[in-house]
């Protein structure tokens, strides 16, 4: 029997597919990437915005049309928020809310009478790797959030915080590494709150990963800029911990942060940024800013523009505020006119781009370790490019005359220039490596 897994939305949804794939394979259920061959289809939905919820509905219908014979299992945030609506959609066979999604394989076993004894329980490292990217894997470390930011529906959809045990996480990392993965990304809803429910914390988890695995590169997905201990950035003295963090500030104005019920003031945020840069000078901080939150004045906008400059964000995602039914912010007075929102979003984008250009130019001349991903692209008759990320998460390319497959190799390089047309770094290898370890000529490209 074969299962086709797909997800919308965040990296957490992606990481959950990987965990289920590993568990399902122990029930003699093979993973397929061909939907027409699937006996079961699993969709992990998203509902962070009304648009995301609409896309989830659309995807359910599309998957059923693509393979009406397959059993369609739907889970994720859209299910947790609109269970009845999902139940009414044609083709949906089994619905699993976020509350029960960690037992999804067992629930399918019960619903579809699969054989009881898992086949491969005794051979942990034989688990096939379900990973859309063989270089990097997302690891779910916790779920849920204790906070109630007024614009956020995720905290409602995903419920209270639950953390996986450190041992469970270490086992998954070892399995992934034995399958060839070089980089892991620790992900969750409130990553900074990891361990609060099991008497441990994010700091201890990172120490355990550094001491009890030898995975070469460790990253964090988005981390709320609070609940981090004062000595947190000392961890980055270990070169296996990549010096980049995505810390969503959402606004530079303390008045707006208050009406968002965010747990971090702009001064506290800047203190975090300074601590990170005291530890590693070119520590890359990226962030999110919401444009046009209810009640936002021109002065509040100016404070958001200022903090992008002050924090020197390597990249800033600008989101135009959209009302999300079911959140407190949707009921706030002084909702901003759509045209004004658009205008402010444009201003923030321009500022973010100007600041990003500076952070890329500051990388020129630096020595970096790039983990190359995927096959090289052919640029023209005589040039190919391989892409990858620096330790501090700037995307870079290496140009070559031959189509050499560098995927999943970590190579020491020097940044030769910042290509501001495509906002990437151009690098060259520190040493001549073409003879030693290159896999020559990917035929299908010639
Ligand atoms: S901390 Fe994050 S997940 Fe939690 S309520 Fe706020 S925005 Fe949502």
CATH code of residue 33: 3.40.50.12160
Residue 162 lies in a domain: yes
Residue 310 and residue 203 share a domain: yes
Residue 141, pLDDT score: 97
SS3 84: helix
State residue 441's pLDDT score: 46
Same domain as 324, residue 190? yes
The verdict on 276 and 342 lying in the same domain is yes
Answer whether 104's CB lies under 8 Å from 73's CB. Answer: yes
Looking at residue 117, its pLDDT comes to 57
Residue at which a domain ends, from 311, 341, 361: 361
Is 385 part of any domain? yes
Residue 167 located in a structural domain: yes
Query: Quick one: 353 and 378 in the same domain?
Result: no
Q: Is residue 123 part of a domain?
A: no
Residue 388: per-residue pLDDT: 97
Number of neighbouring beta carbons within 10 Å of residue 337 = 9
Q: Which of 320, 340, 361 is the last residue of a domain?
A: 361
pLDDT score for 151: 95
131 belongs to a structural domain: no
Helical ranges in 43-147 per DSSP H: 50-66, 77-81, 83-87, 104-111
Residue to probe by mutation, ligand 1, list 190, 228, 249, 327, most atoms within 8 Å of CB? 190
Please report whether residue 117 resides in a domain. no
- Residue minimizing CA distance to atom 1 of ligand 1: 147
CA distance 129 to 30: 11
Q: Is residue 62 part of a domain?
A: yes
Return the CATH number at 247: 3.80.30.20
Q: Pocket of ligand 1, candidates 12, 142, 143, 154: which has the most ligand atoms within 8 Å of its Cβ, to mutate?
A: 154
Non-local (6+) Cβ contacts of 77 within 8 A are: 9, 45, 46, 47, 48, 98, 153, 154, 157, 158
Total domains in the fold of the chain: 3
Containing structural domain, residue 54: 2-112
Q: Are residues 267 and 149 in the same domain?
A: yes
Of 361, 390, 412, the residue that ends a domain is 361
Is 129 a domain residue? no
Q: Which ranges of the chain have pLDDT less than 70?
A: 117-133, 432-446
Is the distance from the beta carbon of residue 47 to the nearest atom of ligand 1 less than 6 Å?
Answer: no
* CA 159–ligand 1 middle distance (angstroms): 11
């Amino acid at each position: 029997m074969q299962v086709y897994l797909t997800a919308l939305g965040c990296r957490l949804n992606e990481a959950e597919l990987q965990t289920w794939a590993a568990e399902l394979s122990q029930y003699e259920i093979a993973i397929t990437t061909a939907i027409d061959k699937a006996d079961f289809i699993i969709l992990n939905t998203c509902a962070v915005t009304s648009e995301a919820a609409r896309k989830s509905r659309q995807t359910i219908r599309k998957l059923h049309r693509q393979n009406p014979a397959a059993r369609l299992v739907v889970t994720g945030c859209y299910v947790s928020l609109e269970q009845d609506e999902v139940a009414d959609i044609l083709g949906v066979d089994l619905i699993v809310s976020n509350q029960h999604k960690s037992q999804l394989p067992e629930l399918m076993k019960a619903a579809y009478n699969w054989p009881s004894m898992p086949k491969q329980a005794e051979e942990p490292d034989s688990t096939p790797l379900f990973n859309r990217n063989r270089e990097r894997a997302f690891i779910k470390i916790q779920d849920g959030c204790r906070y109630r930011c007024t614009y956020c529906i995720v905290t409602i959809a995903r419920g209270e915080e639950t953390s996986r045990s450190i041992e469970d996480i270490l086992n998954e990392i070892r399995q992934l590494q034995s399958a060839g993965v070089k980089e892991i990304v620790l992900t969750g809803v409130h990553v900074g709150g990891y361990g609060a429910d099991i008497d441990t914390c994010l700091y201890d988890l990172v120490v355990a990963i550094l001491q009890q695995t030898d995975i070469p590169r460790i990253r964090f997905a988005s981390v709320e800029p609070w609940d981090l201990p004062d000595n947190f950035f000392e961890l980055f003295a270990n070169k296996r911990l990549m010096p980049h963090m995505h810390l969503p500030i959402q606004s530079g104005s303390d008045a707006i942060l208050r009406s968002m019920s965010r747990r971090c003031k702009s001064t506290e945020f800047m203190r975090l940024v300074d601590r990170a840069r005291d530890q590693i000078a070119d520590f890359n901080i990226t962030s999110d800013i919401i444009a046009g939150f209810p009640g936002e004045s021109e002065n509040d906008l100016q404070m958001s523009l200022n903090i992008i400059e002050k924090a020197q964000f390597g990249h800033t995602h600008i989101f135009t505020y959209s009302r999300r039914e079911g959140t407190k912010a949707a009921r706030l007075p002084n909702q901003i006119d759509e045209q004004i929102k658009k205008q402010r979003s444009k201003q923030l984008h321009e500022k973010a781009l100007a600041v990003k250009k500076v952070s890329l130019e500051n990388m020129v001349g630096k020595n970096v370790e790039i983990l190359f991903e995927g096959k090289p692209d052919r640029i023209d008759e005589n040039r190919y490019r391989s892409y990858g990320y620096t330790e501090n998460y700037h995307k870079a390319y290496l140009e070559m005359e031959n189509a050499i497959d560098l995927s999943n190799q970590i190579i020491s390089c020097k940044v030769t220039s910042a290509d501001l047309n495509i906002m990437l770094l151009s690098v060259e290898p520190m040493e001549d490596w073409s003879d030693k370890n290159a896999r020559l000529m990917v035929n299908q490209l010639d």
